């Protein structure tokens, strides 16, 4: 019989050897003919399956809503400074992307992990939040620099409204809302932020779609797929900021002395 030479790479998401490339077995022509969108492509390449339309629509809404949040946030600031230092598109983009992490945009996976664990263990919001405080861990998905209880994040509201209308169940989101009610009773900046909204709602998407086994959901949450949504989305805005600075022929940025507290 044939002896298969051992390979150095295993790949399961795409194949370019045939007449046309395939994403998770779906040929490019079907993707175009069926009018698939970027949400479908993400479903195929990240989750290795076609997801129902309400799920791919939700993914697309996350991408659109997180594409940009103005020039003052960490990512855009880095990108703007880098572009103004005369660097190229890729350098300006990655300089912004590198700020995405536990405080900024990259709290989605941890929000999903902690909310899932707390909900599945039946913790009350009080037990969950106070338990985190005892461990000295800020609740991922809670808190914002400028949003407040009386000035909520519109993106969160839009995501919640979509899910309440289209998802079969929003139990994790409702839990996150209960957590927010408790944290808001402690301080007005402790709102459910967009990372927390996406993290909890994606748990509902995974659990409610009937497309994933429990083991697959655990794996997705453990590996941490969901920060990818913010990374992908915000790349759109960061690329825009790079072009904007180049178009405006902005000079090298230097931070004003007056805005630095020089002290010993």
Q: What residue ranges bind ligand LMR (CB under 6 A)?
A: 69, 73, 145-146, 194
CA distance 194 to 189: 13
Mention every residue, 6+ apart, whose C-beta is less than 8 A from residue 175.
115, 118, 119, 125, 200
Binding of ligand ACO at residue 125 (CB under 6 A)? no
139 binds, among ligand LMR, ligand ACO, none (CB under 5 to 8 A by kind): ligand ACO
| Nearest to ligand ACO of 59, 194 (CB atom) | 194
CA distance 260 to 251: 21
Asked if 201 contacts 159 with a C-beta cutoff of 8 angstroms, the reply is yes
Binding of ligand ACO at residue 104 (CB under 6 A)? yes
CA distance 166 to 213: 21
CB of 252 to ligand LMR, least distance (A): 25
Q: Angle 74-84/227-247 helices, nearest 10 degrees?
A: 40
* Binding-site member from 48, 57, 77, 138 for ligand ACO (CB under 6 A): 138
* β-strand partners of 27: 22
CB of 130 to ligand LMR, least distance (A): 26
Binding of ligand ACO at residue 118 (CB under 6 A)? no
CB of 129 to ligand ACO, least distance (A): 7
Q: Determine the number of helices (DSSP H) and then strands (DSSP E) in the chain.
A: 12, 3
CB of 102 to ligand ACO, least distance (A): 6
* Binding-site member from 109, 180, 195, 204 for ligand ACO (CB under 6 A): 195
| Nearest to ligand ACO of 42, 66 (CB atom) | 66
Sign of CA pseudo-dihedral 182, 188, 194, 195? negative
User: How far is residue 122 CA from its own chain's centroid?
Assistant: 26
187 binds, among ligand ACO, ligand LMR, none (CB under 5 to 8 A by kind): ligand ACO
| Nearest to ligand LMR of 73, 108 (CB atom) | 73
CA distance 60 to 109: 18
CB of 212 to ligand LMR, least distance (A): 27
| Nearest to ligand LMR of 44, 239 (CB atom) | 239
Count of residues interacting with ligand ACO (CB under 6 A): 20
CA distance 57 to 102: 26
* Binding-site member from 39, 96, 125, 140 for ligand ACO (CB under 6 A): 140
174, burial (CB in 10 Å: exposed 0-12, middle 13-18, buried 19+): middle
Q: Which residues are near ligand ACO by CB under 6 A?
A: 102-105, 107, 138-145, 187, 189-190, 193-196
């Amino acid at each position: 019989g044939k002896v298969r030479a051992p390979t150095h790479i295993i790949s399961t998401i795409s194949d370019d050897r045939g007449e046309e490339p395939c994403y998770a077995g779906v040929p490019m022509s079907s993707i175009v003919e069926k009018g698939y969108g970027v949400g479908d492509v993400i479903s195929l390449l990240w989750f290795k399956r076609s997801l129902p339309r309400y799920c791919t629509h939700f993914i697309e809404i996350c991408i659109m809503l997180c594409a940009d949040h103005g020039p003052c946030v960490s990512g855009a600031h880095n990108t703007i400074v880098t572009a103004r230092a005369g660097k190229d598109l890729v350098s300006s983009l990655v300089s912004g992307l590198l700020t995405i992490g536990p405080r900024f945009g990259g709290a989605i996976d941890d929000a999903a992990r902690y909310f899932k664990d707390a909900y599945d263990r039946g913790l009350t919001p009080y037990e969950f939040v106070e338990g985190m405080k005892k461990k000295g861990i800020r609740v991922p998905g809670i808190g914002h620099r400028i949003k407040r209880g009386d000035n909520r994040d519109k993106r969160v509201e839009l995501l919640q409204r979509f899910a309440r209308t289209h998802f079969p169940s929003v139990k994790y989101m409702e839990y996150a809302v209960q957590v927010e009610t408790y944290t808001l009773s402690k301080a007005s900046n402790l709102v459910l932020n967009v990372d927390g909204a996406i993290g909890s709602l994606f748990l509902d998407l995974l659990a409610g779609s009937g497309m994933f086994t429990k083991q697959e959901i655990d794996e997705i949450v453990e590996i941490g797929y969901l920060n990818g949504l913010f990374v992908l989305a915000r790349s759109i805005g960061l690329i825009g900021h790079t072009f904007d600075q180049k178009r405006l022929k902005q000079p090298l940025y230097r931070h004003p002395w007056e805005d630095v507290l020089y002290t010993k």
